Amino acid sequence: MFDPHKIREDFPILKRKINNHPLVYLDNAATSQKPRQVIEAIKNFYENRNANVHRAVHTLSQEASELYEKAHEEVADFINADGIEEIVFVRGTTEAINLVAYSWGLRNLKKGDEVIVSLMEHHSNIVPWEILSKINGFSIKYVGLNDEGGLDYEAYEELITKKTKIACFSHVSNFSGIINDVKRIAKIAHDHGALTLIDGAQSVPHLPTDVRDLDVDFLAFSGHKMLGPTGIGVLYGKRDILENMEPFQGGGEMIREVLFDSITQRCTITWNNLPWKFEAGTPNICDGVGLMEAVKYLRAIGMENVQAHEHVLTEYAMKRMLECRNVEIYGPKDASLKCGIIPFNVEGFSSHDVALFLDNYGIMIRSGFHCTQPLHTIFKLKSSARVSFYIYNTREEVDKFMEALMEIEQI
């Protein structure tokens, strides 16, 4: 049985008090808290197995290498990738998207080509393409949204052409939590000969994810949003595409050999095998091990259970919030259409005022643009507050949040 009260026992930080109130952490879309199992795995690595990987024959290096490779295997199994060759460890979703933009896009996009991006995207899936378009001269087309902030699929089908080389979409909106139909997005792109890049930062931690079923070409996500440490993330890419891409960075680890030719005075370089071709330098070994432990933790719970628990909390919270006279919720009001994210504002207060007021009661929420400023412009919002749930949140915490929110209303 899924029991969030039992799960909470694994998270030391949840025992904290903020302003003499028990911590109520509702900012999970920004980053999740870490279970003791992940913390211990990191501690154990540095205390017992710390060494560089793939560089020595001694015991510590062999053990570290085995753990690091095992971490790739666990992540591959978690999203049903076809082996570790399709799993590249990066710093996070942002670096994964930039890797695709510069390693694939720099060499495959030219003047006359098109890239499609939605207006609900996190800035990390907008800015790299805007930067690259100024270098290579291709066009960017932005897909609009419907009244609830969902993707306008008809507009997407009208915008895409044979000139479109890649379509870049979020699986789950960082602002509203709405879940996009990725299989439909991918099919439309492939029917026009285009690739797909999916931002999975808000989906992989919360939904069962099968990259082969979704048929996406690239999927980017971050470890810190799914119980893992910061500074580690994943780029999934189909093997044949990754094999034909040039490395993002050059240095150690990503090469098999570098041979100097005394006649030409040049070096001939052979790239390493996948995925190491894209992991230049000493990798973030320890945090990779931490991510592996986070994946094991989530698999033990079951991602179907994670999704179901968040649905219950989201539905309960929205029902109570909709009863408030001065609280406006953005995005779909049907909890089945979204993950555990609820953006809102309280009439007469800025989002930062709301967040600071809640902080007085130990309740942590997000305020601002949530790295989705174009989407806020569409909704004509100066900013918004956002609550987001995860496996350790409870109905009792929703009630505490609502008590404080209703107090703001009375003010």
Which residues are tagged catalytic? 371
d(CA 13, CA 37): 13
| Contact present, 45 and 67 (Cβ < 8 Å) | yes
d(CA 47, CA 349): 49
Tokens of residue 239, six digits: 């093997």
d(CA 205, CA 60): 31
Mark 151-180 as b/e (b = at least 16 C-beta within 10 Å): bbeebbeebbeeebbbbbbbbbbbbbbbbb
Helices 285-301 and 59-79, interaxial angle, to 10°? 40
Residue with tokens 């710093």: 91
Tokens of residue 266, six digits: 């040049």
d(CA 83, CA 73): 7
d(CA 77, CA 88): 14
CA 353 → CA 171, 360, 381, 385, 408, distances in Å? Answer: 30, 11, 15, 9, 10
Tokens of residue 327, six digits: 């609280």
d(CA 177, CA 330): 10
Which of 15, 42, 6 is CA-nearest to residue 228?
42
What lies within 8 Å, CB to CB, of 239 at 6+ separation is: 82, 83, 85, 86, 274
Torsion angle in degrees (nearest 10) through CA of 46, 67, 224, 302: -130
Strands 17-18 and 24-25: unpaired
Our measurement of the distance from residue 198's CA atom to the centroid of its chain's CA atoms, rounded to an integer in Å, reads 10
Please list the alpha-helical segments (H only) found in 258-324: 285-301, 303-322
